[in-house]
Structure 1
Amino acid sequence: MSKKIGFIVGSLREGSYNKQVAATFEKLFPENIEVGYLEIGNLPFYNEDLDTEGNVPQAWTDFRNDAATYDGFVFFTPEYNRSVPAVVKNALDVGSRPYGASIWDGKPALVVSASMGAIAGFGANHHLRQSLVFLNMPTLQQPEAYVGAVQNLIDENGTFNESTTGFFQSIIDAYVDFFNKLTK
């Protein structure tokens, strides 16, 4: 039986480095794991007043139903003001509600942060991990997945250099092992 991993990309920018990292990760995952992307840019901001019968935005329902079909998640995030982009936090909030019906519960996660800066989205990476702890998402600890100065690691065709691709593969291998242990 094939397992499914959901990719959530925190940058909505068309030429996003995080989207390019995700596209490279997708190619490196083993064939027995299906990878899919969850759209988060169209989700209305979470408001508990809307999360009542007859008021739930269709985009929330669609997201929750789609996300519930995945066995684990990989989050690709840039860093905005030492934290995650609002779309990532909003997706977490939408998926965790209504209370007691979280689609995240117990699903293994991986956090990857990529940025043009030297600290590689360290703040966003760790801030996201704090939310994942509360959501009961076991998260791979090692190897840590920071991609700094990402613009220097990729060519004009969106191809990462061999060293970086090898680093990505080591992260994926560790995550797949972690994921398999938790989803038997």
Structure 2
Amino acid sequence: MYTTTTRAVLAAAAAIPLCLAVAAPASAAPGDVTYSATTNGNTITSTFTNNSDQPMFCEYGGYYEPLGADTPVTEANFVFREEIGPILPGQSGTEIVGDLTVGEEIFVEWACIAEDRSEVWGTPAIENVDILEGGPYDPTFRATRVIVGVSVVPGSPIGVCTGSACLPTGSFGF
């Protein structure tokens, strides 16, 4: 009897962390959300497209350096911060940030969360935004580099292999 009771208690205790883990949002497929930017004059136009199956909310910001473990948000690094949403499935949301300096290099970082909080998308900034609770989250994209009034270099998805870096190393079985 003691062994059966002990096993039941241990099995129940082991299941508790699994239940809690399911409740936290997870990083989602990069294709569910896309971010694009354009720049004209002293503005950056940001567009989020929702390809997921539920409404989403996004927060984004401009920084002088891309964010990451070694580059946290600081007053010296911060340029702007905006929120947008809800963005319905199959639709896009667009906002313009102005009064920037032409020629200034800005990295746009962002995070989006599904309305039911089950999925999260974004750049390494996803640990630094107010709309997300829980975590830690794995970024799904890299920051977008913008030279205000000049050019935009899109942030590519993280974990997507391109070019010769995708080739396996070592023996090919020959």
- TM-score norm. by structure 2 comes to 0.30
- TM-score norm. by structure 1 comes to 0.28
